[in-house]
Amino acid sequence: PEHAFMLLDESSSFELIEMKDWAKNESQMKRLKGRVIGEDGKSKRTIEQLTDTHISVYGKTIGILGDSADVQTSRKAIEMLLSGARHATVYNLLENEQKKKKKLEFMDGEE
């Protein structure tokens, strides 16, 4: 709830991923939630940190809140995990995206 105020900012957005689109039954749903959350929340926390977003896994949905571009990057990472990609592959993608973002911010700051 405290993150909902972010939506008042025009640059923020919210995406909802329906896990039923990825899982055929309850056991698959549980497995996929586990992939997104990770052991002790590590996967979810890593995606949040690398994309500067807030992720909520609740019931059969995954909510992503943050800056529009960051939300899209986070969604891509989560969908990769739901599709079966290795966590290391997803983290490498996110780290590369983060480097690109910082480089663009640096270049914008020089102008």
pLDDT of residue 76: 97
pLDDT digits (tens, 9 = 90+) for 50-78: 999 999 999 999 999 999 999 999 999 99
Higher pLDDT, 86 or 5: 86
Q: Which residue's structure tokens are 């480097």?
A: 99
Over 90: is that where the pLDDT of 8 sits?
no
pLDDT of residue 111: 59
Q: Which long-range contacts (CB under 8 A, 24 or more apart) does 22-27 make?
A: 22/82, 22/83
- Return left, alpha or beta for 2; rule: phi > 0 is left, psi -120 to 50 is alpha, else beta: alpha
pLDDT digits (tens, 9 = 90+) for 70-106: 999 999 999 999 999 999 999 999 999 999 888 887 7
Higher pLDDT, 110 or 65: 65
| Domains located in the chain, CATH noted | 2-110 (3.30.1370.10)
Of 86, 94, 106, the C-alpha closest to 55 is: 94
